[in-house]
Amino acid sequence: MEIRDDRRYTTDHEWASEVDGVVTVGITDYAQEQLGEVVYVELPEVGTVLAHGDVFGVVESTKSVSDLYAPVAGEVVGINESLIDTPEHVNNAPYEDGWMVKIKSDDGVADLLDVAGYQAHVGA
């Protein structure tokens, strides 16, 4: 299981990476391992306004269906449209090609778990 030190994490297994007030969000390597083979990803429309903790999408795998939760409040300014045709990117590259949304946020990611906090959460 890979946990990257250049991101922040939620207890719901989303990762967040901020650059200039835009937070890129995806699910962690741990989450994709637990889900199994991802076969479908549902994402919000660009322009959707989210509160912290809102459900912003769904990931469906061969094992289960899981909601995705916004780690920060803000407006969705980008979605990874490639996941519509190639949801396996979530399994193959959760921290690169498997990203899900970009959120313009004033919150930032400082309140999310750091690597040590996320490792403790998953028992790594």
**Tens of pLDDT along 50-103?**
999 999 999 999 989 999 999 999 999 999 999 999 999 999 999 999 999 999
> What is the Cα 19 distance to its own chain's centre?
15
At 1, the pLDDT band (50, 70, 90 cuts) reads confident
Tokens of 8: 């922040």
For the entire predicted model, the pTM comes to: 0.93
**Which domains occur in the chain, in start order?**
8-106 (2.40.50.100)
Instruction: Please give the backbone phi and psi of residue 2, each rounded to the nearest 5 degrees, phi first.
Output: -100, 130
Tokens of 94: 């959760």
42 three-class SS = strand
| CA distance from start to end of the chain | 8
pLDDT at 40: 96
b/e sequence 23-60, b meaning 16+ C-beta within 10 Å? bbbbbbbbbbebbeebeebbbbeeebebeeeeebbebe
Beta bridge partners of 82: none
